């Protein structure tokens, strides 16, 4: 398949094959599954490490866990940007420009952490 429409024909064939595979897999699942699956007593009960569950099934999660996870992701992304910067820094012609760019980047992140610190977001209670 060459020419202008050759790549579209290949894409169309791949899409058709994926749709056929999807329909075949779900059809086989519907044909091969049991008509009335067994439902023994206790199958739908909550399971906690082999013990009977204690208390209700509703639990409140504190927002501070998400805040700490967000800060972790934020500074992990910062580290990902710092590694290539360190590699490019020693190349000729990149010295001052890369220092200024990374200073701005780290400065914005420092302002964010200072704001979080001032608002007592990082205080664990």
pLDDT in tens, 63-110: 778 888 888 888 888 888 788 777 777 777 777 777 888 889 889 888
pTM, to two decimals: 0.43
The reported pLDDT for the residue numbered 77 is 82
Angle at 87 between CA 85 and CA 92, to 5 degrees: 95
pLDDT tens-digit map of 28-54: 999 998 877 677 766 666 665 666 667
* Confidence bin at 13 (pLDDT 50/70/90): very high
Two tokens at 96?
A: 């001052």
Token pair, residue 123, equals 């205080």
d(CA 56, CA 87): 54
- Of 117, 85, 119, 88, the closest CA to residue 102 belongs to 85
Domain boundaries, the chain: 4-119
The fold for domain 4-119 equals Methane Monooxygenase Hydroxylase; Chain G, domain 1 (1.20.58)
Residue 1's pLDDT band (cuts 50, 70, 90): low
């Amino acid at each position: 398949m060459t020419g202008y429409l050759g790549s579209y024909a290949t894409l169309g064939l791949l899409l058709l094959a994926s749709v056929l595979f999807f329909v075949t897999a779900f059809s086989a699942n519907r044909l091969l599954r049991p008509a009335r699956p067994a439902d023994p007593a206790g199958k739908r009960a909550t399971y906690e490490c082999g013990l009977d569950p204690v208390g209700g099934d509703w639990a409140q999660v504190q927002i501070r866990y998400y805040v700490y996870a967000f800060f972790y992701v934020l500074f992990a992304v910062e580290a990902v940007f710092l590694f290539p910067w360190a590699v490019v820094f020693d190349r000729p012609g990149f010295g001052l420009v890369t220092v200024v760019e990374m200073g701005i980047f780290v400065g914005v992140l420092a302002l964010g952490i200072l704001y979080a610190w001032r608002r007592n977001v990082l205080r664990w209670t």
